[in-house]
């Protein structure tokens, strides 16, 4: 059973610490920047893969520190991602983060994570997060690819139109919810009629 509570974080307004500069850290940074191009990320590592540096240099919001991990780097952070190739260091990062009540993700170690970086589908303003509860990131990736293919690019236009319509509605909250439910229900029904033809 999946007991995770999905939330969408404004990482452009939070301070993220990423420890590591290898393959896994590159993947984590790529995921963060793809989801939130202005994510505020400080990276600490003794070494960086060329691909990591190339990715980091494309962003004005990524700060690189060439150093070994030290607890001092947790200061002023909200979220921590441990992605070194040293399990003992990753556990140390996790333990020191927990002492400061920081949310932490330890790469490839679900039992040490407060959160997972799941698959994400983005179509303009629509964002869908996919979780397999840490069981199979590859499955989340495949589902993401499927949704990216089947969801039309015009969805963002639809969302903008619904937003404009919602702004014209008069009445109390209950009325607005009912009106939006009626409109979106009709959209779902018309979509199913199209797919049946």
Q: Quick check: 80 pLDDT over 50?
A: yes
| Residue whose tokens read 């400080």 | 42
Q: Quick check: 76 pLDDT over 60?
A: yes
Which fold, 15-117?
Answer: Rossmann fold (3.40.50)
* Helices 23-35, 50-57: inter-axial angle, 10-degree rounding: 20
Q: Smallest Cα–Cα separation from 49: which of 57, 37, 38?
A: 57
Residues 6+ apart with CB under 8 A from 63: 41, 42, 43
The Cβ of residue 103 has, within 10 Å, a number of other Cβ atoms equal to: 17
Tell me how far CA of residue 53 lies from CA of 22, 23, 32, 45, 46, in angstroms. 10, 11, 15, 11, 13
Tell me how far CA of residue 155 lies from CA of 33, 152, 159, 162, in angstroms. 22, 6, 6, 11
Residues 106-151: pLDDT tens digits?
A: 998 989 999 988 888 988 889 999 988 878 888 988 999 999 999 8
β-bridge partners, 120: 129
- In the chain, where are the structural domains located? 15-117, 118-151, 155-196
Residues 171-188: pLDDT tens digits?
A: 888 888 888 888 888 777
- Identify which has the larger pLDDT, 61 or 183: 61
**105 and 80 Cβ atoms separated by less than 8 Å:** yes
**What one-character-per-residue DSSP string does 161-195 give?**
HHHHHHHH--S-HHHHHHHHHHHHHHHHHHHHHHH
Q: What is the pTM of this model?
A: 0.84
């Amino acid at each position: 059973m999946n007991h995770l509570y999905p939330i969408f974080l404004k990482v452009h307004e939070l301070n993220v610490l990423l420890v590591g500069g290898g393959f896994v850290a590159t993947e984590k940074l790529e995921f963060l920047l793809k989801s939130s191009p202005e994510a505020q990320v400080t990276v600490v590592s003794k070494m960086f893969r060329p691909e990591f540096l190339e990715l980091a240099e494309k962003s004005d919001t990524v700060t690189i520190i060439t150093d070994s991990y030290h607890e001092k780097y947790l200061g002023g952070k909200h979220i921590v991602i441990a992605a070194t190739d040293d399990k003992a260091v990753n556990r140390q990062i996790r333990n020191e983060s927990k002492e400061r009540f920081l949310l932490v993700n330890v790469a490839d170690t679900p039992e040490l994570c407060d959160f997972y970086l799941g698959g994400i589908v983005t179509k303009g303003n629509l964002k869908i997060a996919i979780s397999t509860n840490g069981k199979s990131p590859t499955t989340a990736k495949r589902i993401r690819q499927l949704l990216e293919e089947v969801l039309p690019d015009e969805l963002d236009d639809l969302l903008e139109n619904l937003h404009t319509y919602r702004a014209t509605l008069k009445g109390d909250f209950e009325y607005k919810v009912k009106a939006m439910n009626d409109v979106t229900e009709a959209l779902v029904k018309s979509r199913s009629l199209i797919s049946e033809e």
